[in-house]
Amino acid sequence: MAHEPLSALRFSRLLITGAAGGLGRELRGRMKAYCDHLRLSDIADLGEAAPGEELCPAALQDRAAVLPLLAGVDAVIHLGGLSTEYDFDAILQANILGTYNLYEGARRHGVKRVVFASSNHVSGFRRQNEVVSPLDPMRPDSHYGLSKAFGENLAQFYWDRYGVETVSLRIGSSFPEPRDRRMLASWLSYDDLERLVVAALTAPIVGHTVVYGMSDNATAWWDNTPARHLGYRPQDSSEDFRAAVEARQPVIDGRDAAALYQGGGFVKHGPFEG
């Protein structure tokens, strides 16, 4: 059955990078309802093209391969790159150089808007008893979080200098359901992910807007008030899973850095290592 779109607005061509990844596969099935042509890119196998899909494999660090991806594209959903912690050289290639190449392609081809999959790990060194807003200073928790902080700065620069708009989504934990106590705060359902991406694509004016990607969870570390102009209204909640999660994980070790900081285990790749 065709996916019912949440907005009547329609694009000619959308590009999804990282389309073979977890969120890429999820959005691949959903975003076709919003465009005539869905261009999909990844270094991993993308399978067979469905009607209306264009498969364009590319390594993000390969500028010559990335620039043409943006030709004829109205907007990009940039999910590509490494989605967890790695050594700095790997992150440098895929996430830092890769995101630069993507923005250069957007600028050269006059792409109007980028939806950038940033991450909550931009501010992962905030404590779990703090509530932070997208306007608060960044506190990256890893090489990965640093690369997303770079991506957000790149987005700001490409808006200020070249007029390329971006919504940076500081995605929490987007999985079918929350896996642990931390994710009761950070969980973003797939349906809410779609609501957020559609809001980011269709809000009339965004400049560079930063928003945390979370469902309507009762436990919340993030205050999205500065991004209300996006019109994002989450409709799912981690409360539906609380009893099961708490039964699986009844005790929290308050001395464990992963339980103290919003970034969870990502913070341990830093000063806590060894």
Instruction: Give contact residues for ligand 15L (rule: CB under 6 A).
Output: 83-84, 119-121, 171, 173, 186
CB atoms within 10 A of CB 273: 7
Instruction: Report the residue number, 122 or 227, with the smaller CB distance to ligand 15L.
Output: 122
CB of 268 to ligand 15L, least distance (A): 13
Q: What is the amino acid identity at position 136?
A: D
Instruction: Report the residue number, 186 or 209, with the smaller CB distance to ligand 15L.
Output: 186
C-beta separation of 158 from 166 below 8 A = yes
Q: Burial of 253 by CB count in 10 Å (0-12 exposed, 13-18 middle, 19+ buried)?
A: exposed
C-beta separation of 268 from 260 below 8 A = no
CB of 126 to ligand 15L, least distance (A): 12
Q: Which sign, positive or negative, has the C-alpha torsion 27, 29, 32, 34?
A: negative
Catalytic site residue from 100, 103, 144, 261: 144
Helix or strand run (H / E) with residue 65: helix 63-66
CB of 37 to ligand 15L, least distance (A): 27
User: Which residue's beta carbon is nearest to the bound ligand 15L?
Assistant: 173
CB of 121 to ligand 15L, least distance (A): 5
Instruction: Report the residue number, 173 or 217, with the smaller CB distance to ligand 15L.
Output: 173
Instruction: Report the residue number, 34 or 263, with the smaller CB distance to ligand 15L.
Output: 263
CB atoms within 10 A of CB 85: 20
Clarify whether 144 is annotated catalytic: yes
**What is the set of active-site residues?**
144
